[in-house]
Amino acid sequence: MSDERGQFFEQKLANLKALEEIGVNAYGKRFETTSTLEELRDGFKEGQIVKAAGRMMAYRGHGKSIFIDMKDKSSKMQLYFQKNIIGEDNFNIFKKIEIGDIIGVEGETFFTRMGEPTLKVESFTLLSKSLLPLPEKWHGLKDVEIRYRQRYLDLIVNDEVRQVFKTRSMIIKNIRNFFDSKGFLEVETPMMQSLAGGATARPFETFHNALGIPLYLRIAPELYLKRLLVGGLERVYEINRNFRNEGISRRHNPEFTMLEVYQAYADYEVMMELTETLVSELAKMVWGDTKREMKDGNVLDFTVPWKRITLTDAVKDVCSVDFLTVEDPHKAARECDIEVSPEMTRDEILTQAFESFVEGNLYQPTFITEYPASLCPLAKTIDDKPNLTARFELIVRGQELANAYSELNNPVEQRKRLMDQLDKSDDKNKRIDEDFVKALEYGMPPAGGLGIGIDRLVMALTDSDSIRDVILFPQLKPEAVDTKSENE
RNA sequence: GGGUCGCUAGCUCAUCAGGUAGAGCACCGGCCUUUUAAGCCGGUUGUGCUGGGUUCAAGUCCCGGGCGACUCACCA
């Protein structure tokens, strides 16, 4: 093999030249089709004259006739070429066309002897010659590394992968419809921020040359969306990317898509109902039902209402300890086999216990409520429980899918809570977003805010185990080796 | 970043007592005008991820490196 493109490249290139020598343009232009293959298939009738285009996926030659399978964006259909229909010259040209090539055809529909809906081709055009072999037709492409790095191959060959991304698109479209119909305004706020606020993750840093300042890719849009509440927009949402400079895993991609919603004059309980309605409607759209049996054998059930339980009770059910009131939380944690360090606060131990023992086992949609105020600086506290917040996280299939709270709109308290958080931070360069607090000082209406991780929602609704299966181009380490770092 | 596992033809996989590599599909040539994982006959295909080491001999054993999957940590 003299070329990394493989042994067949030269062969196919020779095929291409042979075609060009007899005057065939191997890279055609516009081709108007009359219907997609799916449209043809639905209510298939014999005797229709149609034009279609797509990629040749299989070839079955029979001497003076040839069957091929052609795939377009919607479906697959068998085509039939006969020497005495298209003529000897064209028939010989067609023999040079290979699996992987993209063609346009015109012909008449008919059923074969075996009852297969087929298009009897009367004329064809080569639209694009493929120079590299496709993965195998029967086993498809399984190597996940190739599937992610060369997603185009994955999409050509694996129909179920196509379907996942069509579903993803449908879900996002329906989310937009849902909020638009309720009077929400879709907005776009900065992805590049001079201060990465609204969450606690490590940001990606970049630099603006003309301004001469560092900028951060946003870790959340929250503080900007709340400025819009101050601005009187009252109901806003944004569906866009967040960037977090953290580890990559089955559930984490450095850039991921987040829906954030803010509704003035509402609270986190309104957000709960909104979430229930939205997600159960999406389930009906995708599944035709609010529940479905998953690959792991469990039936995931989004039928409303969903279970609601406080964080403390959820932990108490499993560990039999009330970490809010237990005298020595460190001791109690050790007795429950929770890994804690001496400097952890009571609140941190509580959430640690939840993450260690409860979260992973919550399969059905469950609202976990009343998170400790010390860990939620942007959430409003509960009137008679000043150390707890009016917040919920939605857990589905053992992972966080949504997060919402009654937004803190008291600027004095907001400043104090942000400062408290800053004091605990290791990073002494961090500042609080003064302009955000200033905005609150002008007056923000009480509001409910909600964030839903779109990738994880799509994972649940498409029964995907890895976030890489719902992101077209997930982040991977580059294949190319940097020679300088080679022998470290 | 740590741990475990993986990497053999374009793809899916074999070879595993260390003796210098195979099958199916794809591809090339021949036959075949309703096949559909078409069929029949013949054929080509590999720095066995990479770099060292042990050995008469390494895909196979040992060590370094790369990438990936899972997992722990960080986080959503």
Please tell me the predicted confidence (pLDDT) of residue A482: 38
Tens of pLDDT, residues A314-328: 999 988 889 999 889
> What does the block give as tokens for A50?
């149609």
| Alpha-helical runs (H) found in A384-488 | 411-424, 434-442, 454-462
Q: Per-residue pLDDT averaged across A420-436, rounded?
A: 83
A137 CB less than 7 Å from any atom of strand B: yes
Q: Per-residue pLDDT averaged across A266-295, rounded?
A: 97
Chain A residues 186 to 225 with C-beta below 7 Å from nucleic strand B? 199-202
A46 CB less than 7 Å from any atom of strand B: no
A142 CB less than 7 Å from any atom of strand B: yes
Q: Per-residue pLDDT averaged across A79-106, rounded?
A: 94
Q: Per-residue pLDDT averaged across A249-258, rounded?
A: 94
**Fold of the CATH domain A157-306+364-469:** BirA Bifunctional Protein; domain 2 (3.30.930)
In strand B, which positions have an atom below 7 A from any protein CB?
1, 6, 9-13, 24-28, 31-39, 44-47, 64-76
Please tell me the predicted confidence (pLDDT) of residue A7: 67
For residue A488, is pLDDT > 70?
no
List all residues 6 or more positions away from A463 whose beta carbon is below 8 Å from its beta carbon: A292, A294, A295
Say how far A254 CA is from B73 C1', in Å: 16
| Alpha-helical runs (H) found in A137-240 | 144-149, 151-157, 159-181, 222-230
Domains of chain A: which residue ranges?
8-134, 157-306+364-469
Q: What CATH number does the domain located at A8-134 have?
A: 2.40.50.140
What band does A428 get if pLDDT is binned at 50, 70 and 90? low
Please tell me the predicted confidence (pLDDT) of residue A319: 87
Q: Find the nucleotide nearest A141 (Cα to C1′).
A: B11
For residue A426, is pLDDT > 80?
no
Tens of pLDDT, residues A26-74: 999 999 999 999 999 998 999 999 999 999 999 999 999 999 999 999 9
A9 CB less than 7 Å from any atom of strand B: no
Which residue lies nearest B27, CA-to-C1' measured? A8
Tens of pLDDT, residues A458-483: 999 999 999 999 999 999 988 754 33
Q: Find the nucleotide nearest A99 (Cα to C1′).
A: B26
Instruction: Of A3-12, A92-101, A131-140, A276-285, give the lowest mean pLDDT range.
Output: A3-12
A8-134 and A157-306+364-469 in the same fold: no
Q: Per-residue pLDDT averaged across A451-460, rounded?
A: 96
What band does A11 get if pLDDT is binned at 50, 70 and 90? confident
Q: Find the nucleotide nearest A118 (Cα to C1′).
A: B34
Tens of pLDDT, residues A204-247: 999 999 999 999 999 999 999 999 999 999 999 999 999 999 98
Q: SS3 sequence, A1-65?
A: CCCCCCCHHHHHHHHHHHHHHCCCCCCCCCCCCCCCHHHHHCCCCCCCEEEEEEEEEEEEECCCE
Indicate the pairing of strand A117-128 with strand A76-82: parallel
Please tell me the predicted confidence (pLDDT) of residue A252: 94
For residue A295, is pLDDT > 70?
yes
For residue A105, is pLDDT > 60?
yes
- What does the DSSP 8-state code read for residue A257? E
Say how far A466 CA is from B74 C1', in Å: 18
Rounded to whole angstroms, the Cα distance separating A67 from A76 reads 13
What band does A160 get if pLDDT is binned at 50, 70 and 90? very high
Instruction: Please check whether residue A461 is in contact with residue A283, taking contact to mean a CB–CB distance below 8 angstroms.
Output: yes
